[in-house]
């Protein structure tokens, strides 16, 4: 079967697919980690500034 | 000197210093960084005789003799100028075949036969489909092979 | 020595932030397209190699990772040098943000090379000049990353890191020319040598797609990292407050 041939890679399937698998994992981590970090940074900054704003308006009242 | 110019000078001197240091180290260690010796170097007596070292070359055509019962194998390594006979007991890599470049790790025995503990295949930088390789061969063209003269 | 004015403008965080949003999106789209083309071409369309059979397909991730590991290091060292001399914040940020990506590429080059080496060479690892110098590159990246977290003050950390990166730059030509200078187990260059590349066209085209995919991957993920850093650096400026929608009410 053609699909089987594709996955067996002429007997080198374990080597080929494990290296592609490791590559996929490392690259995905490199996408996910910075996206999570960007969101966290924005959230933290917003929180910090809204706290600062509340303090400020407290003083005014 | 403005601070910026000073910083440029510092960066340039780091780069220059590292380049000089690297050049000195590399020339000093040139011999030791040699990963393998060629058969010619061994014939000329440049290789160590007491400790183990690596030998690199092409497996000569029609030189591979296998023992049917054990994993013992013997073959002749060549750099197209000189030959060294190698004996080995173990599993050979998939790429091992006649005409293939290999690197073997082991010791030179007194009878000038190299006893290998490890045989590694060295493949070349050429990639092509089997049909193309066959067509090249039929046309009588040389399939480009890597050079085995290690002295450059 | 002065930098041209447009470069200073380019280095202005706000300008760069807006530009990077657009660039990282487009680089990401191109990256995905190239990955699909390269993977399909490399795993399905390209024929098996005449000597190595299907195992040569590891090349499609090994070669781009190895090239990028050198390229990213050059970017890191040059950006670090610019940051060191002209004290441009953005250059420091680019240098710092490149390090984890470069370390990932180096790691991939080493691991995939090792997996490729087992069936073909007959060993996972040898201490030849190419493999050893690439391993040193990984340690340089890790040293740089460790140095970044060792200092409280980001700008001091950036300067220390830049000096380490500049010192380590000497390793780059050694990695590249190691296969020509010494007799290594690793084979010589396939594509970057001056005469015709010694790879069949049907195998070369997917490789070029993969190289381009890795390059755009770097650009895209680098810019995401750079944006987070810019926000942290510039959090007290009015444009950041405006961007985060916090300016309303305060005046």
- pLDDT reading at A3 higher than 90: no
pLDDT of residue C251: 41
Q: Which range in A9-13, A36-40, B53-57, B99-103 is most confidently predicted, on average pLDDT?
A: A36-40
Percent of chain C with pLDDT strictly greater than 90: 51
pLDDT value, residue B55: 87
* C96 interface with A at CB cutoff 8 Å: no
Domain presence at residue A54? yes
Residue A52 lies in a domain: yes
Element (H, E) at B53: strand B53-59
pLDDT in tens, B112-141: 888 988 888 887 778 888 877 777 777 765
Q: Is the Cβ pair C52, B56 closer than 8 Å?
A: no
Sign of the Cα torsion C208, C209, C213, C214 reads negative
Q: According to the model, what pLDDT value does residue A35 have?
A: 94
Query: Are residues B50 and B80 part of one domain?
Result: yes
Pick the CATH number of C15-243 from 1.20.120, 1.10.3470, 1.10.10, 3.40.1350: 1.20.120
Mean pLDDT, range C16-35, rounded to an integer: 93
Residue B144 belongs to a domain: no
For helices C154-168 and C129-150, give the axis angle rounded to 10 degrees.
170
Instruction: Decide if pLDDT at B44 tops 90.
Output: no
A-C contacts (CB, under 8 Å): 91
Q: Does the structure's ipTM exceed the value 0.85?
A: yes
Q: At B148, is the pLDDT very low, low, confident or very high (cuts 50, 70, 90)?
A: very low
CATH of the domain at B103: 2.40.50.140
Q: By residue range, what is the domain housing residue B67?
A: 39-138
Name the residue range of residue A42's domain. 34-61
Which residues of chain B neighbour C200 with C-beta distances below 8 Å?
127-129, 132
**Domain count of the fold of chain A:** 1
> Is residue B150 situated within a structural domain?
no
Nearest-CA neighbor of B118 among B61, B25, B53? B53
> Is residue A59 situated within a structural domain?
yes
**Over chain C, what is the mean pLDDT?**
87
pLDDT tens digits along C82-109: 999 988 889 999 999 999 999 999 999 9
CB contact under 8 Å between C121 and B5, yes or no, is: no
Domain count, chain B: 2
Angle at B81 between CA B80 and CA B86, to 5 degrees: 75
Would you give the DSSP letter of residue B142? Answer: P
Q: What is the pLDDT of residue A58?
A: 66
**pLDDT digits 0-9 by tens, C193-226:** 555 667 888 888 999 999 999 999 999 999 999 9
Chain C residues lying within 8 Å of A31, measured CB to CB: 221
Give the pLDDT score at B33: 60
Instruction: Please write the tens of the pLDDT for every residue from A8-49.
Output: 888 888 999 999 999 999 999 999 999 999 999 989 888 887
Q: Please judge whether A35 and C224 are an interchain contact, meaning their C-beta atoms are less than 8 angstroms apart.
A: yes
> H/E element holding B18?
helix B3-28
Residues B98 and B128 in one domain: yes
Nearest to C108 by CA among B13, B89, B131, A22: A22
Residue-level pLDDT at B140? 63
C36 close contact with A: CB closer than 8 A: no
Specify if B125 maps to a domain: yes
Any bridge partners for residue B56, and if so which? B103
Mean pLDDT of B35-46: 83
Q: Are B77 and B123 members of one domain?
A: yes
pLDDT at C237 over 90: no
Tell me what pLDDT residue B81 has. 85
Residue B27 pLDDT greater than 60, yes or no: yes
In a domain, B127, yes or no: yes
Q: Of B7, B22, B35, which is closest to C128 when you measure between CB atoms?
A: B35
Residue of B nearest to C204 (CA): B127
Q: Render pLDDT for C130-184 as a digit per residue (tens, 0 to 9).
A: 888 999 999 999 999 999 988 888 889 999 999 999 999 989 998 988 887 777 7
User: Looking at the partner chain, which of B11, B94, B127 has a beta carbon nearest the beta carbon of C190?
Assistant: B127
Whether residue B26 is found in the same domain as residue B53? no
- Cβ separation of C53 and A11 shorter than 8 Å? yes
Q: What percent of chain C lies above the pLDDT cut of 70?
A: 90
B11 and B70 both lie in a single domain = no
**Residue B151: band (very low, low, confident or very high) from pLDDT cuts 50, 70, 90:** very low
**Confidence category of residue C11, pLDDT binned at 50, 70, 90:** low
The closest CB to that of C116, out of A15, A49, A57, belongs to: A15
pLDDT tens sequence across B78-95:
888 888 899 998 888 888
**Chain C residues whose beta carbon lies within 8 Å of the beta carbon of residue A12:** 53-55, 119
The answer to whether residue A61 sits within a structural domain is yes
Q: Which pairs from C117-121 meet CB under 8 Å and 24+ separation?
A: C118/A15, C119/A12, C119/A15, C119/B93, C119/B94, C119/C55, C120/B93, C120/B94, C120/B95, C120/B121, C120/B123, C120/C52, C120/C55, C121/B93, C121/B95, C121/B120, C121/B121, C121/B122, C121/B123, C121/C185
B74 and B91 in a single domain? The answer is: yes
C217: distance to nearest CA of chain A, Å?
Answer: 9
Q: Average pLDDT for residues C72-88, to the nearest whole number?
A: 93
- Closest residue by Cα to residue B119 from B151, B87, B85: B87
Q: Where are the domains of chain C?
A: 15-243
Q: Nearest CB to B93: which of C81, C120, C181?
A: C120
The sign of the dihedral angle between the CA atoms of B42, B117, C174, B127 is positive
């Amino acid at each position: 079967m053609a699909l089987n041939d594709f996955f067996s890679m002429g007997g080198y399937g374990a080597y080929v697919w494990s290296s592609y698998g490791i590559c996929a994992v490392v690259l995905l981590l490199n996408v996910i980690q910075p996206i999570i970090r960007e969101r966290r940074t924005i959230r933290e900054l917003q929180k910090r500034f809204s706290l600062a704003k509340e303090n400020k308006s407290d003083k005014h009242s | 000197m403005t601070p910026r110019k000073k910083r440029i000078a510092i960066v340039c001197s780091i780069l220059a210093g590292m380049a000089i240091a690297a050049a000195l180290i590399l020339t000093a260690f040139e011999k030791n960084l040699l990963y393998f010796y060629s058969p010619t170097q061994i014939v000329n007596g440049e290789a160590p005789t007491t400790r183990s070292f690596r030998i690199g070359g092409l497996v000569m055509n029609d030189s591979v003799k296998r023992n049917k019962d054990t994993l013992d194998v013997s073959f002749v390594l060549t750099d197209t100028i000189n030959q060294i006979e190698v004996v080995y007991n173990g599993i050979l890599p998939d790429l091992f075949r006649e005409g293939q470049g290999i690197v073997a790790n082991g010791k030179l025995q007194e009878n000038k036969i190299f006893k290998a503990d490890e045989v590694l295949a060295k493949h070349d930088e050429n990639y092509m489909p089997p049909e193309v390789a066959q067509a090249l061969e039929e046309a009588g063209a040389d399939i480009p092979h890597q050079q085995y003269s290690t002295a450059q | 020595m002065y930098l041209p004015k447009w470069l200073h403008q380019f280095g202005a965080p706000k300008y760069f932030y807006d530009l990077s949003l657009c660039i990282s999106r487009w680089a990401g789209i191109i990256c995905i397209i190239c990955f699909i083309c390269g993977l399909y071409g490399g795993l399905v369309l390209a024929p098996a190699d005449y000597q190595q059979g299907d195992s040569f397909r590891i090349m499609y991730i090994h070669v781009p990772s190895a090239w990028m590991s050198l390229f990213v290091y050059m970017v890191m060292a040059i950006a670090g040098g610019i940051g060191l001399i002209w004290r441009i914040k953005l250059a420091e940020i680019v240098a710092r943000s490149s390090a984890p990506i470069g370390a990932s590429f180096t790691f991939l080059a080493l691991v995939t090379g090792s997996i490729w080496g087992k069936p073909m060479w007959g060993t996972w690892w040898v201490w030849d000049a190419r493999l050893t110098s690439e391993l040193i590159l990984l340690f340089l990246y890790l040293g740089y990353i460790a140095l970044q977290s060792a200092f409280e003050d980001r700008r001091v950390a950036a300067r220390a890191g830049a000096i380490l990166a500049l010192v380590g730059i000497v390793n780059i030509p050694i990695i590249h020319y190691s296969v020509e200078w010494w007799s290594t187990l690793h084979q010589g260059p396939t594509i970057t040598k001056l005469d015709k590349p010694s790879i069949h066209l049907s195998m070369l085209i997917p490789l070029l797609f993969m190289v381009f995919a890795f390059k755009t991957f770097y650009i895209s993920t680098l810019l995401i990292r750079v944006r987070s850093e810019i926000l942290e650096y510039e959090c007290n400026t009015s444009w950041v407050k405006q961007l985060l929608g916090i300016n309303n009410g305060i005046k």
